[in-house]
Amino acid sequence: MSVRDRFLAGLVAVVWGLNFLAVRIGLDHYPPVFLSAMRFLVLAVPVVLFVPRPAVATRWLVAYGLGFGAVQFGLLFLAIDNGMPSGQASVVVQASAPFTMVLGLLWGERINRRQLAGIALAVAGMAAIAVERARGAALVPLLLTLLAALGWALGNIAARRARPDHPLRFALWMSVIPPVPLLALSAVLEGPAAGWRAFGDSFGADGLPGLAALLYAALAGSVLGSGIWTTLLKRYEAGTVAPFSMLVPVVAVAVAWIFLGERLSAWSAVASAAVVLGVLVGTAAGRPAPAALPAPEPQTGSGTGSQAGEPASHVQDTQRS
């Protein structure tokens, strides 16, 4: 992965890390499932009207919208609303990275030893943070957050398989899928009018923080974050991109410490450093292979398979692509 793309992946981690603070603020003003629906609905209408549909198979667009959108955010918002601290949720939901790796292996993607070592170190740091912060969490919010992580992983694979011609359009059109199932679920669980009343109240002075949080989640999280993320998934295998999601809890825990008064212990600081180091190890460029010796010229006729003088490693790379 190039230096520029690693920077972009890190930027997504910052945007999504700040999103947990926005969610916590938003949940003080809106019901959780309704908030997750509105996160996408505010984008869905202008997208349908003004953004050309990307050239992707409908099944991958629907799978991405349901997994990354409806399942992840619907369950994550429910978990936080039911007692999962936002900082802890940001840690547990990073189970999407190993989930993505397992699903990627099922689709025939490969992971090398360096990536496995980096993932293992990052997962160890993530687990250490989760253990420290999970002592006071109930079982149901934890399960909801893990299921949200699985939804994220399914979305990662769908985006990888879609290979959209225009990743930003793909990320924007994904927002068209979640509102219908989420609004239907909100009507059943929260009442058909509860969310809309809260949305109307958000245009008053007391509701402005909730409205700002909603707009941040929709614009920064969906347009900027998802657009960059989808672009990276188009360029690289899921196992290369997914580890950067482990930087999200580092940002989220720091933000929770600064703005929500959650203390960052020495243990959490060391564990967070392990997450960062694991991501760097798992995504660092490998040592360049030594130049191949020129292939001997054929004595008679022409060789089959690779061209004369073409390194074998190039043929293997071509077969992988």
Domain limits, the chain? 3-283
Q: What is the pLDDT of residue 264?
A: 66
Q: Amino acid identity of 185?
A: L
- Global pTM reads 0.76
- Residue 120, CB half-sphere, CA atoms under 13 Å: how many? 7
Q: Which two tokens stand for residue 92?
A: 């547990």
Report which of 103, 226, 224, 227 is spatially closest to residue 153, judged by C-alpha positions: 103
Say how many C-beta atoms besides its own lie within 10 A of residue 234's C-beta. 17
Q: Amino acid identity of 290?
A: P
Residues 214 and 201: their CA atoms lie apart, in Å, by: 13
Q: Amino acid identity of 178?
A: P
Per-residue pLDDT of the chain (321 residues; tens, 9 = 90+): 888 999 999 999 899 899 999 999 999 999 999 999 999 999 999 999 999 999 999 999 999 999 999 999 999 999 999 988 888 788 888 778 777 877 887 877 777 787 788 778 878 887 887 777 666 556 788 889 889 999 989 998 998 888 888 887 888 899 999 999 999 999 999 999 999 999 999 999 889 999 999 999 888 877 788 778 878 888 888 778 877 877 888 899 889 888 887 776 787 778 878 887 877 676 665 544 343 334 444 343 433 333 333 333 333 333 333
Q: What is the pLDDT of residue 312?
A: 34
For every residue of 44-91, DSSP letters joined together read HHHHHHHSPPPSS-HHHHHHHIIIIIIIHHHHHHHHHHTT--HHHHHH
Indicate the burial class of 276 (C-beta count within 10 angstroms; 0-12, 13-18, 19 or more): middle
Say how many C-beta atoms besides its own lie within 10 A of residue 203's C-beta. 10
Q: What is the pLDDT of residue 212?
A: 95
Contact 103, 154 (CB under 8 A): yes
- Residue 99's alpha-carbon distances to 63, 82, 92, 186, in angstroms, are 16, 24, 12, 27
Residues 293 and 304: their CA atoms lie apart, in Å, by: 18
Q: Amino acid identity of 282?
A: G
Residues 64 and 78: their CA atoms lie apart, in Å, by: 20
Q: Amino acid identity of 246?
A: M
